[in-house]
Structure 1
Amino acid sequence: MNLPRKRTILAVDDDQKTRQLLKLYLEKHQYVVQLAADGESFRHGFDRYRDELSLVILDVMLPDTDGFALCQMVRQRAPMLPIIMLTASADDTERIVGLELGADDYIGKPYNPRELLARIKAIHRRAGMVGEGAPRYLNFAGFRLDRLERTLSSPDGDKVVLTAMDFDLLRLLAEHPGQVLDRARLMEQTRGRDLGPTDRSLDVQVSRLRQRLGDDGKQPTLIKTVRASGYVFAVEVQASHE
């Protein structure tokens, strides 16, 4: 699923005041916002606006389900649609679970609307980062990364299912083969924020990306860990226009 030009967001939160404030704030910044109060209304909204959506926002705690179940549903039906999860828990476990299920980012509640807006803008900005005249394809180890269509083809020619965050991380690594990219840089350029001292979200993301690529986590050949530094894309990459 390619990102549409319209910036339409579907947000689910069971608190009416929070929903309305979110809608008012984002609409001031030229976003179209559709709201849902629970899982059922979110599913109806997703069915109705799916082709228009550029991002969804999921509250973890809902009266009839939880954000994790909705995250799984979205991932099954729209693998590349960005997901931001809202969590009131200070426990990193919820955040890690969300990332493992395919969320692209998370933000703690209560949150500053400006921070949420910055995360949304960063995701939308990364979705259109291919510059005019730049090679469209990155080829490595039999894989073919299409930076325009934001897709990845396997050596067998099959499409590899990636989330938007998977794609952004892979593209950044493949654009700098053989270079050690430190964790702080990867975090800033894929999530648009600083890496906290106990933040494991990037490591979870790398682990998930390795699984997508069939790269052995214990002895990886594509994405290697550089101890106390970051990660390196350890295979040759060839850029091409065709």
Structure 2
Amino acid sequence: MIEDNKSVSEMMSMFFKKEGWEVVFSYDGIDAVEKFNANPDSFDLVTLDLNLPGKDGMQVAQEIREKSKTVPLIMLTARDSESDQVLGLELGADDYVTKPFSPITLIARIKALHRRSKISDDGAKEEAQNDAKKEFDIDTGRFQMNIKTREAFLDGKPIEGLTPKEFDLLHTLATNPKQVYSREQLLQQVWDYEYFGDERTVDAHIKKLRQKIEKSGPQIIQTVWGVGYKFDDTENSSDK
């Protein structure tokens, strides 16, 4: 937990202890990066405050993502600006919680994000042990996706730089081509928590995902206005 407000850390430490979790606290950005870089594989999840001394939370998020593409990252922010929250998500955060927050809500978000991460990891390990597993889990001819290697390809070109949540989001949509998913459904299926009235988490990830897709080929994530999003890689599909 990277949080400069020690009273918040002390409060959360009681809840973490109740859950039986081992937690490392850091109170400034420089110390946080040093602790994470010393042993990045030892952390199951990171919560990160945006307003930090030493190094701003945005910079810390970027450096954490440079060291680990897969560690789940929740941003804690007192900033109510949509641009700040979107930027945080674009830098690789998997979720964000706005201060002041309920400790119970944060615990629920941590559990949901960690649960999704563990499911993905366990699935990858199981598939890695199956030598007979087909090369691609999804193959439409134009689009391929391999769960074991966490790779996606469009028109033979890799879709590069996908964060764990972007990959999961793309997999959810691509598993049922042309099916329209509402933002509420995507929050439940990809983030694994109930809809709290904040759709910007989904929208920010879709925006970043589209930018990465467009580097490899035509847009395959379509907007269905007033409803949500769908995957469509047919040649006559167009970004609406």
> TM-score range with shorter-chain normalisation?
0.7 to 0.9
2:210–2:219 Cα contact (<8 Å) kept: no
1:141–1:235 Cα contact (<8 Å) kept: no
Q: Cα gap change, 1:195/1:141 in structure 2, threshold over 3 Å: closer, same or farther?
A: farther
Aligned partner of residue 232 in structure 1, secondary structure: strand
The 5 A counterparts of 1:1-242 are 11-127=1-117, 128=119, 130=123, 137-140=137-140, 142-149=142-149, 151-154=150-153, 160-191=160-191, 192-194=193-195, 196=197, 199-214=199-214, 221-235=219-233
2:213–2:219 Cα contact (<8 Å) kept: no
Q: Cα gap change, 1:195/1:235 in structure 2, threshold over 3 Å: closer, same or farther?
A: farther
Write the distance in 1 (CA, Å) between the matches of 2:140 and 2:151. 11
Higher relative contact order (CA 8 A, sep 6+): 1
Letter in 1 for 2:194: R
Question: Deviation digits for residues 100-158 of structure 1, max 9, x if unmatched?
Answer: 22211100112111111111111122220549799872234555423245x11435575
Q: Which runs of 5+ in 2 are unaligned?
A: 128-132, 235-240
TM-score by length of 1: 0.81
Aligned partner of residue 139 in structure 2, secondary structure: strand
Q: Number of residues paired by the alignment?
A: 222
Q: Cα gap change, 1:141/1:84 in structure 2, threshold over 3 Å: closer, same or farther?
A: farther
2:29–2:56 Cα contact (<8 Å) kept: yes
Write the distance in 1 (CA, Å) between the matches of 2:139 and 2:20. 37
Aligned partner of residue 39 in structure 2, secondary structure: helix
Write the distance in 1 (CA, Å) between the matches of 2:98 and 2:58. 15
Letter in 2 for 1:223: I
Which piece of structure 1 moves more, 21-30 or 201-210?
Answer: 21-30
Q: Which runs of 5+ in 1 are unaligned?
A: 1-10, 237-242
Write the distance in 1 (CA, Å) between the matches of 2:110 and 2:64. 17
C-alpha RMSD of the superposition: 2.7
Letter in 2 for 1:193: E
| Structure (1 or 2) with the greater helix fraction | 2
Aligned partner of residue 154 in structure 1, secondary structure: strand
1:239 maps to which residue? Answer: none
TM-score by length of 2: 0.81
| Structure (1 or 2) with the greater strand fraction | 1
